[in-house]
Amino acid sequence: MSRRVLLTAGGLTLLAGCSAGPVQRIVGAAQTRPVPTRKPAATRSAPAGGRGSSRPAGRHHADNDGEPMFYVDDGPKVIALTIDDGPSPVYTPQVLRLLARYQVTATFSMIGIEVTENPGVARDVAAAGHLISNHTWRHLNLPLLSKPAVIDEMDRATTAIHDATGITPHMFRAPFGAWSPTVLRHCAQAGMTPLDWSVDPRDWARPGVPAIVSNIMHHTRTGSIILEHDGGGDRSETVAALKIVIPRLLHAGYQFATP
């Protein structure tokens, strides 16, 4: 699946993709928006790390204005791991086994058509206690679509996830991190919190395991939402990097939460 999209607006051609990270995102066809600089405050002493340091789901931290979440705010050294573009019959089970080994809970942003093709894998994610987020039906760039098409992409994915798992997702992640007023408005109408990220190791580009590990360890801070992928291509580097990163983060005292 291509991770780069050409946008044409007002005679200008822009190149966008999820590699852009949260520094600059598309809102509409010709607008960009900087990421808010707000970060959660760390006011208490850091908790001990190690296995079993995941926090349960249940606290959600959406901004009051309905803007996307870039950080979690569950206290010092609390972070979130998000895994996109599955479920995959090859890589999702590997990720699930790894998360179970370290008792870490993550958020899986699922593509509706992949859920329909792999409903058993989606059920395995839900049964393991992980959070499932809506990632649209086909992973299209939503600001380039008409309003009815945007709503259809979002609603079809919700239906597919519910049909497979019995869960109605309350989180939504836009493909490529591309938000628009229509997307945010429908999130509010559908009761879904828009979920973004603050750490992007570009694992989808397969830069090598050391590069993925270095990126995450260098950029992760209290409140970080880390972006990874279990679908959309060969994700063997992602799995190998997570085998290194998760124990390192736990050893550093981080706890994993769901948004």
How far apart are the C-alpha atoms of 257 and 259, rounded to whole Å?
6
The answer to whether residue 1 sits within a structural domain is no
**Which tokens is 153 given?**
């992409």
The answer to whether residue 9 sits within a structural domain is no
How far apart are the C-alpha atoms of 77 and 194, rounded to whole Å?
22
The answer to whether residue 22 sits within a structural domain is no
pTM reported for the whole predicted model:
0.79
Residue range 181-227, pLDDT digits in tens: 999 999 999 999 999 999 999 999 999 999 999 999 999 999 999 99
Residue range 49-67, pLDDT digits in tens: 332 333 333 334 444 468 9
The answer to whether residue 31 sits within a structural domain is no
The answer to whether residue 7 sits within a structural domain is no
Collapse the DSSP code of 162 into the 3-class scheme (helix H, G, I; strand E, B; otherwise coil) and give the result.
Answer: helix
Catalytic residues: 84, 229
The boundaries of the domain holding residue 244 are 45-256
Smallest CA-to-CA distance from 76 within 39, 38, 46 is with 46
The answer to whether residue 2 sits within a structural domain is no
For the chain, the domain total comes to 1
The answer to whether residue 78 sits within a structural domain is yes
CATH code of residue 187: 3.20.20.370
The answer to whether residue 232 sits within a structural domain is yes
